[in-house]
Each structure stands twice: as structure tokens, then as C-alpha cells.
Amino acid sequence: MQMTDALNQIAPEGTRLGEFWDVLPEESGATPEGVLAIGGVDVAKLAETYGTPLHIVDEVGLRRQIRRFIDGLRERWPNSEVLFASKSLPIVGMYRLAQEEGLSVDIAGGGELKLALAGGVDPARLHFHGNAKTDAELQMALEAGIGTIIVDNEDEIARLERLISRPQKVLLRVIPGVDAETHASQATGGSDSKFGLPMDQAARAIERMRAHPLIDFEGVHLHIGSQILNTRQFAQAVENISSVGTFATYDVGGGLGVKYTYEEDAPSVEAYLDSIVESARAHLPAESKIMIEPGRSIVARAGVTLYRVVSVKRTGKVFVAIDGGLADQMDIALTDQRYEAIIADRLHEPWTESVQLVGRQCESGDLLVDGAAVPEPHVGDLVVMPVTGAYAYTMSNNYNGALKPAIVFVADGEARLVARRETYDDLLAVHAPAMY
Ligand SMILES: Cc1ncc(COP(=O)(O)O)c(C=O)c1O
């Protein structure tokens, strides 16, 4: 491919290049004019219609990925359930799609509960997470008829004992003692994690819950972290948790990592499921139910963010500044995640430069891609940041008065707006009128 050849010319020596298309949504292609098309829709047309920055989600690829998880787990372990970790993309359109595809849904707070219900998710298929659920949130969840509460700590048990008035299914989150090989901010399975109880405190909590007539204790939950590329760590967590006891249900969390850059490799869904299920066969009761909670690995690749170049500055480096930034790609600051950038309306041109893709926020850390391989950049170019379907929109914020971008789902040559762009009126709406 011409683009890969061009990239080879400037790639650091020894870098192994993956396929260009592997970081783009599955349903991607190029128009004869060399414009990126996703879901059969030319991104230049999307920019014209919806403006930039814009999140674009390949609905067909997304649904296919969901089926890989649901069918793949069911084939290996029939008594199983796949939950979408909705924190990765908590928008009504995504909740609706998850419901349509037969996913259950995990939520972490009152806001996600409201959004999930608005998306038509059956409350019985909701699983409520969080290490600091308030009385008000638990009350909301109980009133909604939530399926399962994943209890984090003894204070939460005390709250439930006070609040529940009819039988309620619960799981207990335990710390499995696996230090996940990922960024420290994304590791949640080690002994100093703030989430869940250490395994040696689980028995007492379980006994307390079992003693309550309305608490229906089903089993245990674990989650070792996010963006994990070593599948052996998932297997280890399953093995470790088996020592807590024999239960009806084991929820072994999410965390499968994805490929963000050309050089990176990530395990397939199948390899991930093999690793969990092989360990479950060896260590868990054969009749138990296994649940998993993928978030990133469901939505990340299906989504890209589309920007327009505002300025090109050549100092010692080449700074390509776009009309968005860190405010809509926060996980770069939180996790140092590396991304690629593609000039999306001149795909056929060779990549001759290595540039700094920067945003418009007032931070030098607002560096989205350090050394993006691109053709000669111009003001007005369209830039796509691939693999931004997870944890981008949900963490976007109003820093420097930034407006949350719009989101469109694209499929079979059609686009539909699922979340509109924030407006300046939205920004002003939360302030008391007397203040302005
Ligand atoms: C409890 C729990 N489950 C699942 C997930 C989803 O993780 P990922 O998006 O890495 O699959 C998270 C993410 O933080 C989580 O905290």
C-alpha cells in the first residue's frame, strides 16, 4: 500500500509496521478522490454536515465486535453473560444499541443509570458498580428494579441493609491480587486498589450479606484494570478468585486492551476468551455462570474523532494545531496513551513529514500525537484520530470553554446524529442567571 510505503520512509529504524487499516474502524475505505470513508460515508461530507470536532462511530463494525464477545463466550462457556462497561461510551444511542444486540450493561453511578434507562435498557439487565455509591443512587437503582448491585465495601452493605425492601441480587467485588501490566492509573487488581475488598476480608462480608433475608448473594466480581495486553493476567485473576469460595456467579471484569498505533499488537477477542475460559475450566465450578465486562475492546476501534487543521507552524518542529484538543482526548493526559493521526482527505498522498498534532487547550501537555506521519499539512485539512471510540467522549469537558463534540453513527452509507454538539447556551445554562 502506498501509505504504508511512505510511512516506512520516515518510520524509526526497526519499527514493525502494522497495517494502516487495522487502526481504523472495520468498515473503512477510501473514496476515489482519496477521502476516508467510514460506514460508506465520506468524512468530508460529515464535516460539512455536522462540523468538527466530531466523533464518528462505525455501527456495523461495532455490532460485529459485540457478536464476537457474546457468541465467543457462549460457545466456550454456555452459562455466560456479556456486560457492556458503559463508562467507555455512556450515550443513549449506545445503550440502545447494546440492548438491541443482547448485551447486559454495567453502570457506575446515577448518571449512567439515567442514560441507560433512557436508552431502553431493561433494568433487570443492569449491573451497578462503584466504590462510593450514595444513598440517593442506591435508592434510585432499587426503585428502578436494578438487576444486580456489585457491592464494594462494608459501608455499602450497611446502606443496603437499611434501604432494601425486596429481594436484591448482589455480587461482592474482591481484589484478586493481580498487578496488571498497564498504566498505574488503569490498574485496579493489586493489593492497594481502592476498589473492592481484599480476598481475606471477603468471607466476613459474604457472611453478613447472606444473613440478611433480602440480600440475595450470588457470587464475586473482579476487575484487574484496563488496556491489558497480556491475556495470562486475566487467567491468573480467575485462578486467584477461585480461592474465595464456590459461588453461582463469577464476574471476571473487563480490561482487554486494543491496538492504538501501527506498531502495537493486541490480543484478539478469541485469545482473550480462551485464556479466561481455560482458567475457569481449571479452577471454577463447571455449573457456575461467568460474566465479563468489556468496554474499551467493544467500542474503541469503532470510533474516530474528526478534526480540522487551524494552523501549521514551523519552528524547530512542525506544529499542526486542530480545532479540538485535550478537552476531548483526556486519557492522553491520564494514561499517556499513544495515538496515530491521519490526514483524512488526502489519503493517496505519501507521508513525508513527522509532525506534532496539538490541540487548542492552554497546556503544553495538549500534545495529541508526538510525531504523526502525514503528507505536507495545510490549514483546512481534515485529521482523524483513530481508536477514539472509548473513554474520549465520556471524559470530554469544558476546559477553556470547549464544547463537547457531536457524535454520529454511520452505517451502510447513512449517518445519524446520536448526540448533538454542545452549544454556548449549554455552557451558560448551569450558571445562575443573576451571575451574568
Ligand atoms: C468494574 C469495571 N468493569 C469493566 C470496566 C471496563 O474496562 P475496559 O474498558 O478496559 O474493558 C471497567 C473500567 O474501568 C471497570 O471499572
Q: What is the pLDDT of residue 206?
A: 98
Question: What's the CA-to-centroid distance between 84 and ligand 1, angstroms?
Answer: 9
Cell of 364: 503544553
DSSP 327: G
- Closest to 378 measured CA to CA, from 309, 306, 318, 277: 309
Cell of 93: 444511542
Please list the residue range(s) of the chain that carry CATH number 3.20.20.10. 77-295
Q: CATH classification of 77-295 is 3.20.20.10, yes or no?
A: yes
> Which residue in the block uniquely carries the three cell numbers 476546559?
399
226 Cβ below 6 A of ligand 1: yes
CA 350 to chain centre: 32
Q: Tens digit of pLDDT for each residue in 229-270?
A: 999 999 999 999 999 999 999 999 999 999 999 989 999 999
Q: What is the residue with the minimal CA distance to atom 4 of ligand 1?
A: 254
Annotation says 428 is catalytic: no
Please list the residue range(s) of the chain that carry CATH number 2.40.37.10. 2-58+302-429
Q: Which of 214, 362, 379, 428 is catalytic?
A: 362
Q: Tens digit of pLDDT for each residue in 289-322?
A: 999 999 999 999 999 999 999 999 999 999 999 9
Q: Tens digit of pLDDT for each residue in 208-224?
A: 999 999 999 999 999 99
297 Cβ below 6 A of ligand 1: yes
Contact 218, 148 (CB under 8 A): yes
What is the atom index within ligand 1 of the atom nearest the CA of 295? 9
- Closest to 346 measured CA to CA, from 65, 55, 36, 110: 36
Mutate which of 88, 195, 335 to test ligand 1's pocket (most atoms within 8 Å of Cβ)? 88
For the chain, the C-alpha Rg in angstroms (whole number) is: 23
Q: Determine phi and psi for 107, rounding to 5 degrees.
A: -125, 160
pLDDT, mean of residues 397-420: 98
- In this prediction, residue 348 has a pLDDT band, given cuts at 50, 70 and 90, of confident
pLDDT, mean of residues 77-99: 98
Mutate which of 81, 87, 299 to test ligand 1's pocket (most atoms within 8 Å of Cβ)? 87
Question: What's the CA-to-centroid distance between 2 and ligand 1, angstroms?
Answer: 38
Over 70: is that where the pLDDT of 3 sits? no
- In this prediction, residue 435 has a pLDDT band, given cuts at 50, 70 and 90, of low
Over 80: is that where the pLDDT of 15 sits? no
Angle among Cα 156, 158, 161 to the nearest 5 degrees reads 110
For residue 306, the surrounding DSSP H or E stretch is strand 303-314
- Closest to 345 measured CA to CA, from 131, 96, 48, 126: 48
Cell of 27: 468498515
Q: Average per-residue pLDDT in the chain?
A: 94
Choose between 189 and 9: higher pLDDT. 189
Considering the domain delimited by 2-58+302-429, tell me its CATH architecture.
Answer: Beta Barrel (2.40)
Q: Tens digit of pLDDT for each residue in 101-129?
A: 999 999 999 999 999 999 999 999 999 99
Q: Is 28 helix (H, G, I), strand (E, B) or coil?
A: strand
pLDDT, mean of residues 7-30: 70
Contact 180, 190 (CB under 8 A): yes
Q: What is the residue with the minimal CA distance to atom 13 of ligand 1?
A: 226
Q: What is the pLDDT of residue 269?
A: 98
Nearest-angstrom CA–CA distance, 300 and 303: 6
Contact 294, 227 (CB under 8 A): no
Nearest-angstrom CA–CA distance, 381 and 315: 20
Q: Is 172 helix (H, G, I), strand (E, B) or coil?
A: strand
295 Cβ below 6 A of ligand 1: yes
296 Cβ below 6 A of ligand 1: yes
Q: Is 79 helix (H, G, I), strand (E, B) or coil?
A: coil
- CA dihedral (261, 404, 55, 386) in degrees, to 10, reads -10
* Lowest mean pLDDT, pick from 5-9, 95-99, 202-206: 5-9
Question: What's the CA-to-centroid distance between 314 and ligand 1, angstroms?
Answer: 40
Over 80: is that where the pLDDT of 358 sits? yes
Mutate which of 65, 226, 291, 299 to test ligand 1's pocket (most atoms within 8 Å of Cβ)? 226
Cell of 135: 444513598
> Which residue in the block uniquely carries the three cell numbers 464475586?
220
- Closest to 96 measured CA to CA, from 66, 119, 114, 113: 119
- CA dihedral (329, 335, 336, 342) in degrees, to 10, reads -40
Q: Tens digit of pLDDT for each residue in 32-52?
A: 999 999 999 999 999 999 999
150 Cβ below 6 A of ligand 1: no
Length of the chain: 436
Q: What is the pLDDT of residue 14?
A: 46
